[in-house]
């Protein structure tokens, strides 16, 4: 008889460039966990969800790995633990990665009509997680509504090979020959820090506002810009409205993640993103929304130029490849990454993240109501995604106060947009 554990091969993978920071800086206050939920029209059947999960994992072997500490770097190690779907019993975005504990870096839970995928950011970014959730929902509907679907039998678009999905997009597109990776940075200034009363147990307050994509697009077009630029501007406007008078000389800086899949040919389901900072000085510029939009629009154009992005990516890769940095023990690396991240967070007020448009097979559209996304937050932050004509904008905040959220949604509702609000507390 063969003993199962004896000759199993150790499979492990390095963390990609963007993932390296997360294990070092995650803590109970900011868990670096985010959640994407699919809301169906009918209650979830846990047995079929489990079957769907088992099938989905076949296509995403990376999700079966656990995160471990080596002497110099963290690494992913394959594991035999079998992930189970659970009824939702934890607060949104509660910690997944706990130092030394051997568990998966994601969690699938369900409650009533919702399926939640929560994952630790080191495993994947929003683009990869959506792919996983789309696959999970696909299998779930296919299994659960087999009889109703009858003859219409959509097949799953895999989109990439297993090895392409587990690929490191940063390595694949690294061109070390670029010498000048200096990025002209504005002088280091501390940004405005949104203050508030923390919720007990470091819980996150999640407020989701669901509305029509088309109507928001219309408003954005009215300002001559895209939806992301408009929502970023409106976010700044709402923060400013809540800003105490004596702090108004500080800059409001919003960090915006950039999906690198759009710039490089990589089909990875792992992390492949970078960020840009958009700042606005209300002291020197007008607080009118149309002026904010105009300015933010220009900043977005600059930030999204391929050349700037590539330089930034190469710069981070060079840093990671620096021989001195590579031979520093992990304990010390962790310590410095924590300090660097503290320092960096002082220059950012908040962030806004567009997870994008989620697609499913046409036949399944009558089963799915909406998708929504939220993420652990150090200060009130926005994440949003859309499905058909339903846009869900989510505020996640560690604070009790809801002033910024109220300002934001009232601005839209005053412009005749019908908003449905959902919250966890």
Partner 1 sequence: MKYCRHCKVYIREGRNRCTLCGNVLEEELKGGSEDVFPEVPPFFESHLALRIMIFISIVAVVVSFGINMIFPSNINWSILFMFATISVWVGLIIIIRKKYHISKKIVWQVIIISILAIFWDYKTGWRGWSLDYVIPIACVSAMIIMYVTAKIMNLSIREYITYALLDGIFGIIPVLFIIFDLVKVVYPSIISIGFSIISLSAIFIFQGEEIKAEIDKRMHI
> Which residues contact partner 1 by CB under 8 A?
5-6, 8-10, 12, 14, 39, 70-73, 75, 77, 87-92, 98, 100-102, 111-114, 200-201, 206-207, 209, 326-327, 402, 405-406, 409-410, 413-414, 418-425
Residue 416 backbone zone (phi > 0: left; psi -120 to 50: alpha; other: beta)? left
Q: Which is nearer to partner 1, 1 or 327 (CB)?
A: 327
As a dihedral over the C-alpha atoms of residue 157, residue 159, residue 165, residue 171, rounded to 10 degrees, the angle is -170
Shortest separation between residue 425's beta carbon and partner 1, angstroms: 8
Shortest separation between residue 26's beta carbon and partner 1, angstroms: 16
Q: Which is nearer to partner 1, 112 or 302 (CB)?
A: 112
Shortest separation between residue 210's beta carbon and partner 1, angstroms: 8
Q: Which is nearer to partner 1, 100 or 244 (CB)?
A: 100
Q: Name the token pair of 424.
A: 């966890």
Contact 304, 277 (CB under 8 A): no
Distance in angstroms between the alpha carbons of the first and the last residue of the chain: 54
Shortest separation between residue 70's beta carbon and partner 1, angstroms: 4
**Residue (of 230, 193, 244) closest to 350 by Cα position:** 193
Q: Which is nearer to partner 1, 63 or 76 (CB)?
A: 76
Shortest separation between residue 334's beta carbon and partner 1, angstroms: 16
d(CA 394, CA 353): 10
d(CA 127, CA 272): 8
d(CA 389, CA 368): 12
As a dihedral over the C-alpha atoms of residue 229, residue 233, residue 239, residue 243, rounded to 10 degrees, the angle is 150
Angle 139-141-146 (CA atoms, 0-180°, nearest 5)?
Answer: 100
> Which ranges of 322-402 would DSSP assign to H, the alpha helix?
323-326, 330-345
d(CA 121, CA 124): 6
* 351 Cβ neighbours under 8 A, 6+ residues apart: 254, 255, 256, 257, 275, 381, 382
Q: Which is nearer to partner 1, 56 or 116 (CB)?
A: 116
Shortest separation between residue 65's beta carbon and partner 1, angstroms: 12
Its sign, for the CA torsion 286, 288, 294, 299, is positive
Q: Which is nearer to partner 1, 291 or 420 (CB)?
A: 420
Task: Determine which helix (DSSP H) or strand (DSSP E) holds 256, and give its type and residue range.
Answer: strand 252-259
Shortest separation between residue 28's beta carbon and partner 1, angstroms: 11
Q: Which is nearer to partner 1, 344 or 413 (CB)?
A: 413
Contact 66, 180 (CB under 8 A): no
Question: What DSSP character marks residue 224?
Answer: T
Shortest separation between residue 418's beta carbon and partner 1, angstroms: 7
Shortest separation between residue 51's beta carbon and partner 1, angstroms: 23
Shortest separation between residue 320's beta carbon and partner 1, angstroms: 11
Q: Which is nearer to partner 1, 96 or 191 (CB)?
A: 96
User: SS3 for 193?
Assistant: coil
**Residue 44 vs residues 161, 217, 415: alpha-carbon distances, Å:** 30, 32, 36
Q: Name the token pair of 37.
A: 């939920």
Q: Which is nearer to partner 1, 267 or 337 (CB)?
A: 337
Shortest separation between residue 202's beta carbon and partner 1, angstroms: 10
Q: Which is nearer to partner 1, 98 or 340 (CB)?
A: 98
Q: Which is nearer to partner 1, 101 or 262 (CB)?
A: 101
**Residue 60 vs residues 102, 146, 162, 268, 269: alpha-carbon distances, Å:** 19, 24, 7, 10, 8
Chain center to CA of 219: 25
């Amino acid at each position: 008889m063969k003993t199962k554990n004896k000759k199993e091969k150790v499979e492990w993978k390095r963390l990609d460039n963007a993932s390296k920071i997360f294990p070092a800086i995650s803590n109970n206050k900011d868990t670096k966990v985010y959640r994407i939920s699919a809301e169906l029209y009918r209650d979830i059947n846990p047995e079929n969800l489990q079957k769907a999960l088992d099938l989905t994992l076949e296509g995403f072997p990376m999700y079966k790995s656990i995160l471990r500490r080596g002497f110099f770097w963290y690494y992913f190690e394959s594991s035999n633990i079998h992930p189970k779907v659970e009824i939702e019993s934890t607060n949104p975005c509660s910690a997944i990665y706990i130092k030394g504990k051997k568990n998966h870096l994601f969690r699938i839970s369900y409650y009533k009509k919702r399926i939640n995928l929560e994952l630790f950011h080191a495993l994947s970014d929003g683009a990869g997680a959506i792919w996983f959730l789309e696959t999970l929902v696909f299998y779930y509907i296919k299994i659960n509504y087999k009889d109703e679907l009858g003859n219409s039998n959509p097949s799953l678009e895999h989109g990439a090979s297993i090895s392409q999905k587990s690929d490191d997009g940063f390595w694949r597109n690294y061109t070390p020959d670029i010498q000048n990776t200096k990025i002209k940075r504005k002088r280091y200034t501390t940004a405005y820090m949104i203050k508030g009363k923390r919720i007990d147990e470091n819980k996150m307050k999640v407020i989701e506002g669901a509305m029509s994509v088309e109507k928001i697009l219309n408003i954005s077009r009215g300002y001559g810009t895209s939806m992301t630029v408009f929502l970023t501007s409106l976010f700044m406007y709402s923060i400013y409205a809540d800003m105490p008078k004596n702090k108004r000389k500080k800059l409001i800086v919003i960090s915006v993640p950039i999906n690198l899949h759009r710039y490089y040919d990589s089909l990875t389901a792992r992390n492949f993103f970078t960020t840009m900072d958009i700042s606005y000085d209300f002291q020197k510029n007008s607080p009118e929304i149309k002026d904010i939009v105009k300015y933010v629009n220009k900043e977005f154009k600059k930030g999204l130029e391929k050349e700037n992005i590539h330089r930034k990516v190469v710069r981070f890769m060079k840093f990671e490849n620096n021989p001195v940095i590579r031979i520093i023990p992990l304990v010390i690396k962790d310590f410095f990454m924590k300090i660097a991240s503290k320092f960096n967070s002082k220059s950012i007020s908040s962030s806004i993240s567009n997870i994008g448009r989620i697609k499913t097979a046409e036949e399944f559209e009558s089963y799915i109501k909406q998708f929504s996304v939220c993420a652990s937050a150090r200060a009130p932050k926005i994440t949003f995604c859309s499905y058909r004509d339903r846009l869900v904008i989510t505020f996640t905040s560690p604070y009790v106060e809801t002033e910024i959220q109220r300002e934001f949604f009232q601005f839209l509702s005053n412009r005749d947009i019908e908003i449905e609000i959902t919250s966890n507390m």
